[in-house]
Chain A
Amino acid sequence: MSTGAAHEAAADTRTATATAAPRRRITALLGPGTPVYVLLVVLLAALALSDPSFYEPDRFLAFVKRAAPLVILAAGQYLVIVSGEFDLSVGAIVTAGVVVAAELYGSYPDAHWLVMTLVLLLAGAAVGLANGLITTGLRVPSFITTLGMMLILEGAVFYWTGGSPHGSMPEDFRALGRGSAFGWLPWAVLACLAAGVLAVALMRSDFGRTLIATGDSERTAALAGVRVHRVRVLAFVLSGVAAALAAVLVGGFSGVSAQAGRGYEFEAITAVVLGGVVLGGGRGSVVAAMAGAFSLQALFTLLNLRGVSGAMESTVQGVIVIAAVGLGAADWSRPRRRRTHSTRGKPS
């Protein structure tokens, strides 16, 4: 066989790559999440218009700090969704994490904050492990598994605390949620940044690529030697750990409450969907999912600034999640092309 032909073909491939239109390259770089970045920019601009002081460093960092738990949850939820599953238990893990921390400090008031944090992260991993093993091993749909886990955790918290958790968390532990490093950089922002960097690195690793391929086609992955159960279980575990980290931040920020994590599971899913990540798995980027979380937080802040009742938050969220999926945020390139075809197909 002539190697000349092969070289020629290769040269073709290379030139094609090199001359790809810059616009397409940008879209390819951002992936199917492109609309969410536009949305985020629009929302941030709107915030600046509504409140000129929004971009003063401490105000803006405070905004990022408030968004941090949701961003971390979205990153964890992304891993589960992109593998083709759901995790509805993360809100309950946040609540349970906060309550457990407070109760443990009641018994061991001198526990080091780092030890407490590690205990919570391990507990989150354990819940994720249970979710994953039940979903893959017993073939219970993850929607049901994690819904059940959410109810179990909520019930357990209620039983344990009788509805009003007591105990309090010492200052050094709460500092993670509300304190700042060097006096100006909130620890929560650092945690958020670290989680983001880790998530991006993870999705570039062999594990991340295998995870997304599994979400795209489980059969293809299994026949390529991927241990699909193990990969999915790991996604649930990481989501549980992310939820526990969010619990540490939420506990520090807003203190002990039996409602600490309420609604976070749906906010996280909304954020991920807003980021153009396809439900059912296989498509979307973790950066876009985290941008979705920032967008959601920006929207809530904007509504708040505009004097819209906080009660409307969930209504707005409902509209968004339906609109995001409905408008094909999932894959903007395809519907558009189809539409162009059919309109061209009709006579003018």
Chain B
Amino acid sequence: MRESPSDNLLTPTLLTMEGVSKSFLGVRVLHDVSLTLEAGEVHAIAGENGAGKSTLMKVLAGEHAPDTGTVRLDGTEHSFTHPSQAQAAGIGIIHQEFALLEHRTIADNVFLGREPTRRGFVDRRAMEERTDQLLTELGESVKAGLTPRTYVRDLPVARQQTVEIVKALASDVRVLVMDEPTAPLAEHEAGLLHGLVRRLADRGMGILYISHRLREIFELAQRVTVLKDGRHVITARTAETDTDQVVRAMVGRELGAYYPPRAEPGEWGDAVLTVTGGGNRRLRGIDLTLRAGEVTGVAGLQGSGRTSLARALFGAAPFTEGSMTVGGTSLRPASPRQAIRAGIALVTEDRKAEGLALRQSVRDNALLVTRAVPTRGRPPAGRGLTRLLERVRLQARSEDQQAQYLSGGNQQKVVIAKWLAAHPRVLLFDEPTRGVDVGAKAAIHTLVRELAREGLAVLIISSELPEVIGMSDRVLVMSDGRLAGELPAGADEEDIMRLATGHPDHSDAA
């Protein structure tokens, strides 16, 4: 853990928010919240969805004016009424949805709206030189392959985020707010981002870092503030607190074990799904058995073929070679419909684009599969549907509520309900708890284990290693489109990473 800069009494407090309250339509979303940020500090903000994190940050960024309370930057009080004023004062915010123009270059984006001019024309050269310089300052690992003339649309998500950061640097931002920056990233990309955040802090920038991920909070931040229901719960030095305390503050109750107990070896049943020599454009030589009652974890770096594996099993991007059996019958599904008819279900990674019809009701989403594939049983109606939604512990205003207005966790529960209605034999989860708050996460984990106990075969793909390790009865590791190895329950992160990065200790495994 690094020395907190605030230990040095000479450093003035960079940012002070005091007694901030905010109501919308008479509903109080922030109650008297206070917060300080030192120059060079990474200060994590944690809390469940709806705790008020985003609203607090929007107050800071001038997107909402507070009802009461003050914002002081370097001792000067500001009352921003527009984001541009906050920007001018040196406050930058990187939202989860990036504010980038995809069809423009990096340099264009970095200087958007304040392009340097020469004799009345945009001085592209100056723009590009300055952008290049900023990229270089961030170090070779960050710059790798980026040039000022690269088009944003050609960049993967992680690199687009880098562009947002360069944008902040170019406008001399002193307080940078990052809203769940690692949510869309894979583990190793997150590592790169952490390095970058540390470097920004070393330059004296103050960083407010919103995150669900406790591990990164403890790795990265000097202090952590927890909000719950719009109120400040604690602010603590990460060196002086621990995960349990932060989790307790977030959920306001004790969470027993983080993950439900695993299955005993005797609880596994027969093989429900087998693949022999499965392959397609992205995958090769896949040999796999999923057993009833067992939770199988899949780990691997981004691009290692984890998602491709799930999509192949589900027939969305089918295997083109090899053979597969489901419930003893030979079937290599060529479409999701075929897979569903055989009793396979896939909870996709991208919940909003592939898991839900966002503008439809909870009911219509939950019934979608059974309505589309009648052979999986009649759509549950009335009491049956209510029981199903209770089963997944959905918290919604009513069955008529549109899916888009649910929290991430409840959205995921609806997706799971949609599959359970069709009585699957095999449940595939791709990133089951991405963007889901801590409470819902525990509920989903418990539910997944319950389902396994009832005899479903479960596959969990996750880029969060603790999740894979905590949930799985065994862990498969993917690398470069192959299954690089299998590890027993409770394997540690190092073992997994060694296999995932293709550097096993004994490198004779063919």
Closest to A283 in B: B359
B393 in contact with A219 (CB, 8 Å): no
Across-interface contacts of A219 in B (CB, < 8 A): 353-354
B81 in contact with A347 (CB, 8 Å): yes
Would you list 17 pairs from A and B whose C-beta atoms are within 8 A, ordered by A residue?
A6-B390, A7-B390, A13-B394, A206-B371, A209-B364, A209-B371, A210-B371, A212-B357, A213-B365, A220-B355, A220-B368, A223-B314, A224-B418, A225-B372, A282-B357, A282-B359, A344-B24
Cα distance A276–B25 in the bound complex, in angstroms = 26
One digit per residue, 1 when the CB lies within 8 angstroms of any chain A CB and 0 when it does not, for chain B 324-367 equals 00000000000011001100001010000111111110001101
Q: Does A216 contact B (CB under 8 A)?
A: yes
Cα distance A14–B348 in the bound complex, in angstroms = 29
Closest to B397 in A: A16
Cα distance A5–B373 in the bound complex, in angstroms = 32
B367 in contact with A209 (CB, 8 Å): yes
B386 in contact with A10 (CB, 8 Å): yes
A221 and B386 contact, Cβ closer than 8 Å, known pairs A12-B395, A206-B379, A344-B24: no
Cα distance A209–B371 in the bound complex, in angstroms = 8
B64 in contact with A345 (CB, 8 Å): yes
Q: Does A59 contact B (CB under 8 A)?
A: no
Q: Does A227 contact B (CB under 8 A)?
A: yes
Cα distance A283–B359 in the bound complex, in angstroms = 7
Q: Does A309 contact B (CB under 8 A)?
A: no
Q: Does A28 contact B (CB under 8 A)?
A: yes
B369 in contact with A224 (CB, 8 Å): yes
Q: Does B396 contact A (CB under 8 A)?
A: yes
A225 in contact with B369 (CB, 8 Å): yes
Q: Does B65 contact A (CB under 8 A)?
A: yes
Across-interface contacts of B357 in A (CB, < 8 A): 212-213, 216-217, 220-221, 282
Q: Does B219 contact A (CB under 8 A)?
A: no
Q: Does B63 contact A (CB under 8 A)?
A: yes
How distant is B347 from chain A, measured CB to nearest CB, in Å? 10
B368 in contact with A17 (CB, 8 Å): no
Cα distance A216–B400 in the bound complex, in angstroms = 16
A223 in contact with B398 (CB, 8 Å): no
Size class of the A contact interface (CB-based, 8 Å): 35 or more
A13 in contact with B353 (CB, 8 Å): no
How distant is A56 from chain B, measured CB to nearest CB, in Å? 40
Closest to B391 in A: A6
Closest to A16 in B: B397
Closest to B422 in A: A225
Interface residues of B in 377-434 (CB under 8 A from A): 379, 386, 389-391, 393-400, 418
Closest to A5 in B: B393
Q: Does A23 contact B (CB under 8 A)?
A: no
A13 in contact with B364 (CB, 8 Å): no
Q: Does B239 contact A (CB under 8 A)?
A: no
B397 in contact with A6 (CB, 8 Å): no
Q: Does B150 contact A (CB under 8 A)?
A: no
For the complex of A and B, the 10 pairs showing the least CB-CB separation, nearest first, are A216-B357, A206-B371, A226-B372, A225-B340, A225-B373, A213-B357, A17-B398, A10-B390, A225-B372, A225-B337
Closest to B25 in A: A340
Cα distance A223–B415 in the bound complex, in angstroms = 12
How distant is B359 from chain A, measured CB to nearest CB, in Å? 5
Cα distance A221–B341 in the bound complex, in angstroms = 15
A-contacting residues of B (Cβ < 8 Å)?
24-25, 63-65, 79, 81, 314, 316, 336-337, 340-341, 346, 348, 353-360, 364-365, 367-369, 371-374, 379, 386, 389-391, 393-400, 418, 446, 450
Interface residues of A in 292-348 (CB under 8 A from B): 340-341, 344-347
How distant is A299 from chain B, measured CB to nearest CB, in Å? 28
B354 in contact with A220 (CB, 8 Å): yes
Across-interface contacts of A282 in B (CB, < 8 A): 357, 359-360
B395 in contact with A9 (CB, 8 Å): yes
Closest to A214 in B: B357
Interface residues of A in 211-253 (CB under 8 A from B): 212-213, 216-217, 219-227
Across-interface contacts of B371 in A (CB, < 8 A): 206, 209-210
B65 in contact with A345 (CB, 8 Å): yes
Having A213-B360, A217-B353, one finds 20 other A-B pairs with CB under 8 Å, namely A1-B446, A12-B395, A17-B397, A17-B398, A209-B360, A209-B364, A209-B367, A216-B358, A220-B355, A220-B356, A223-B314, A223-B355, A225-B336, A225-B337, A225-B372, A226-B368, A226-B372, A227-B337, A227-B372, A340-B25
Closest to B395 in A: A9
How distant is B315 from chain A, measured CB to nearest CB, in Å? 10
How distant is A208 from chain B, measured CB to nearest CB, in Å? 10
B368 in contact with A347 (CB, 8 Å): no
Cα distance A43–B189 in the bound complex, in angstroms = 60
Across-interface contacts of B359 in A (CB, < 8 A): 216, 282-283
How distant is A281 from chain B, measured CB to nearest CB, in Å? 9
A13 and B395 contact, Cβ closer than 8 Å, known pairs A341-B24, A345-B63: yes
Q: Does A20 contact B (CB under 8 A)?
A: yes
Closest to A28 in B: B400
Across-interface contacts of B314 in A (CB, < 8 A): 223
Across-interface contacts of B379 in A (CB, < 8 A): 206
A224 in contact with B372 (CB, 8 Å): yes
Closest to B336 in A: A223
Cα distance A221–B395 in the bound complex, in angstroms = 24
How distant is A112 from chain B, measured CB to nearest CB, in Å? 38
Cα distance A347–B446 in the bound complex, in angstroms = 46
